[in-house]
Amino acid sequence: MKKLTYFLILYIICVSCDKNHAPLIVDISCNPENRSAGTQFTLTVAATDEDGDKLVYRWTADGGEFPDSVNQVQVKWKSPADGSGKTYTIKVVVADAESEASREFQILLGAPQLGNLVGQVNYTNFKIPVDQATVTVGDKSSTTDTYGHFSISGIVVGDYDLKITKPAYTIFDSKIKITANGTLQVNAEITSVNFTTKLYGTIADQDGLPLENATAVVLNPDGTDSNLKATTNAAGFYKLWYIPFGERTISVKKATTEVNFYVAFRQVLNCQEIETQLDLEMTRLALSGTFTDTRDNHTYPFKMIGDLTWMTENLAYLPEVNPSSKGSGQDAFYYVYGYQGTDPLAAKETDNYKTYGVLYNWPAANKACPSGWHLPAGDLEWDALIKTLGPSAATKMKSSIGWAEHGGGNNSSGFSAIPGGEVKSNGTFAEMDYNAYFWTSSIISGISSYKVLAYGLSDVYSYSGDNRLAFSVRCVKNH
């Protein structure tokens, strides 16, 4: 009997050990504390299980929605936007493999907090508005006007997917957050394959050589650069995808190199086709180098200073030569400093010709420059040169040697002015080694003007005088 009693007690103890305990729900927390209709709440349940069993969760509600899983310790519940003044019950069930526990949590919703959304829709990469695009936020929508503007008010605060659509256009999709009493500004971009041009082609210089690293950019209607730009490859090829239909302006630029300057330009294109080929030509200007005057095969160096290309050696064209005693204010006369004969070949053999070139009276100076070059105007090209060089322009223009009494300059401009002197109105040579005189094409108060760079002085001086005077000439390249 004692043995039977022992086994009975042992059985009762074992049965008692195998009994399952139901989960215990300790608490439910809810954030945020604000209870406005339309708010998305985060609910968290705290539960324990005496047996240490794995717990599963299930949430339900008599309204609103759960955007994500309802089988988690923590869930999100989006309250109805029109639920102001209503009480909603959220229930959570916590279960182990054999039993479960549940608890309800009630939320009384107040008036919803609202915000606003405004913005503009443009073509991708441009300040060109897209009208009649549909803008959707939650259950609200709007349509863009002629200027691409839209406005939606009274949006319940929260996180949303903003979608902007228009038939035959790409879709704009973005996450946004509407805040209480705030106005969110959104600038969106969409584009259309059906209403844009694919533009491509090559950019080359005037000699047909392809230009690498030239930049082509389509301008906005207000003349500013759009974000649609392309840089040419080694073959000069560029492509600009999706330019909105209409009259568009393309700006082409290329950075200056050590030897070349490239003239930027704009070209207007009427975009109406889905695909367009446009080959462009860009003017290349050599910053320095040499050229040959075909009239006498004399080779001159040149350099671009500022926006103008200047000969950096005195003109030496000598179709005939005269002694200094002969001259005229109407007919062309040519002189070589110190030479008093009439033989051009003999004059060209002199050191002064080889060093300083030819002195011309004003009628000769106006027709002496080679083809493609011209006598510079005093109030335009010469003054532009002086302005480009800034203070102490003469010092920057004068060569460092060849001037009397160390009166030269540093030639930092590369102009290489040398003191070739003049033929005075009385028919004598004068001022060699001291002054450099250069004719201009300008006439001031009926008198021809010229520029003077004097020894020891740092400025360029302007004068006007008798056409009978003979000075040096520097030509400027035609642009």
For the record, the structure tokens of 109 come out as 């919703």
Q: What is the pLDDT of residue 470?
A: 98
Contact 313, 303 (CB under 8 A): no
Q: What is the pLDDT of residue 259?
A: 86
Strand-pairing partners, residue 423, are 429, 470
**pTM score, two decimals?**
0.63
Sequence-separated (6 or more) residues with CB below 8 Å from residue 285? 260, 261, 262, 263, 304, 309, 477, 479
Number of Cα atoms under 13 Å in the Cβ half of residue 100: 10
Looking only at the bridges linking them, the beta strands covering 280-282 and 196-205 are: parallel
| CB atoms inside a 10 Å sphere around CB 46 | 12
- What CA–CA distance (Å, rounded) separates 270 from 222? 17
C-alpha distances out from residue 229 to 91, 142, 189, 193, 294, Å: 58, 32, 16, 18, 43
User: Which residue has tokens 């299930």?
Assistant: 58
**CB environment 72-108: b (16+ within 10 A), e (fewer):** beebbbbbbbebbeeebebebbbbbeeeebeeebebe
- What CA–CA distance (Å, rounded) separates 350 from 156? 95
For the record, the structure tokens of 211 come out as 């230009």
- Helix H segments across 210-261? none
Name all domains of the chain by residue range, CATH numbers in brackets: 23-108 (2.60.40.10), 114-190 (2.60.40.1120), 196-284 (2.60.40.10), 289-477 (no CATH)
Backbone torsions φ then ψ of 11, nearest 5 degrees: -65, -45
- What CA–CA distance (Å, rounded) separates 41 from 63? 13
Number of Cα atoms under 13 Å in the Cβ half of residue 395: 7
Q: What is the pLDDT of residue 44?
A: 97
- What CA–CA distance (Å, rounded) separates 310 from 80? 79
- What CA–CA distance (Å, rounded) separates 476 from 479? 9
| DSSP reduced 3-state for 128 | coil
Q: What is the pLDDT of residue 7?
A: 52
Question: Going residue by residue through the chain (479 aa), what tens digit of pLDDT does each one get?
Answer: 555 555 555 555 544 556 889 999 999 999 998 899 988 999 999 999 999 999 999 999 999 999 999 999 999 999 998 899 999 999 999 999 999 999 999 999 999 999 999 999 999 999 999 999 999 999 999 999 999 999 999 999 989 999 999 999 999 999 999 999 999 999 999 999 999 999 999 999 999 999 999 999 999 999 999 999 999 999 999 999 999 999 999 999 999 988 898 999 999 999 999 999 999 999 998 889 999 999 999 999 999 999 899 999 999 999 999 999 999 999 999 999 999 999 999 999 999 999 999 999 999 999 999 999 999 998 899 999 999 999 999 999 999 999 998 889 999 999 999 999 999 999 999 999 999 999 999 999 999 999 999 999 999 999 999 999 999 999 999 97
Strand-pairing partners, residue 205, are 282
- What CA–CA distance (Å, rounded) separates 430 from 338? 9
| CB atoms inside a 10 Å sphere around CB 405 | 9
